[in-house]
Amino acid sequence: RCFGIFQFFSGSGLFGRSPHSLKFFDTAPSQVPNFPEFVTVFMIDDVQVTYFDSNIKVNLPKQNWMKEAKDLQDWEKETGALLAAQQTFITDIEVLKPRFNQTEGLHVYQRMCGCEWDDETGEVKSYYQFGYDGEDFINLDQKQESWVAPKQKAVVTKHSWENDTDFMSGTKTYLVEICPEWLKKYLEYGKSSLIRTGKLS
């Protein structure tokens, strides 16, 4: 389930399929030469629409229509949130290494979260997954509102997160309400822009 550290998807087709998807991919590598400490890629229908990393320290639109979807204050707010996420991920990977009896070497901590929306049936599906060194670390079971820990070393994280009512509530709100709203909003901005420019057949 975990995506490769250097693999950023670049699909070319928006709006041509259902269900539609919104996905965030976060990557925090340790001791990887010539690679940022933290990278976030935001995708709509497998098309990259924004990019952030710890070197440039700013959230950048990767599609012209995406620039219209947010005002300057939104871009600045999101950059601030990503800077905070960067610190969290860098801290987390340093917590995970000793848990796996590691002190040196290349290691990668990743998150993939997002949702799918079927514009024909109205069905929404969400996902929230973490990986470590290319394997599943902990995944959200949204129906049970609990975390699944495939590895014993993730059990302490499972209990910690499930006991954090604010975190669990915020995660549910994002997946059930915010993510589908964002997806529909960005699809409309992208579609409208492509129609205006004659790029949508």
pLDDT computed for residue 160 by the predictor? 96
Q: Give CA–CA dist 74/71, Å, rounded.
A: 5
pLDDT per residue as tens digits for the range 88-107:
999 999 999 999 999 888 99
Specify the pTM: 0.86
Which class is 20-196 in CATH? alpha beta
Q: Give CA–CA dist 134/27, Å, rounded.
A: 11
Would you list the domain boundaries of the chain? 20-196
Nearest of 190, 201, 172 to residue 68 by alpha carbon = 190
pLDDT per residue as tens digits for the range 60-88:
999 988 988 888 899 999 999 999 999 99
pLDDT computed for residue 85 by the predictor? 96
Paired tokens of 101:
């009896």
pLDDT computed for residue 70 by the predictor? 87
Nearest of 135, 116, 130, 136 to residue 180 by alpha carbon = 116
pLDDT per residue as tens digits for the range 7-56:
443 344 555 567 899 999 999 999 888 899 999 999 999 899 999 999 99
Q: Give CA–CA dist 156/31, Å, rounded.
A: 25
- Using the predicted structure, report yes or no on whether residue 1 has a pLDDT greater than 60: no
pLDDT computed for residue 103 by the predictor? 86
pLDDT computed for residue 24 by the predictor? 96
Cβ-proximal residues to 199 (8 Å cutoff; 6+ apart), any chain: none
* Averaged confidence pLDDT in the chain: 88
pLDDT computed for residue 68 by the predictor? 81
What is the rounded average pLDDT of the residues 134-146?
94
- Using the predicted structure, report yes or no on whether residue 197 has a pLDDT greater than 80: no
Paired tokens of 136:
């599943």
pLDDT computed for residue 17 by the predictor? 62
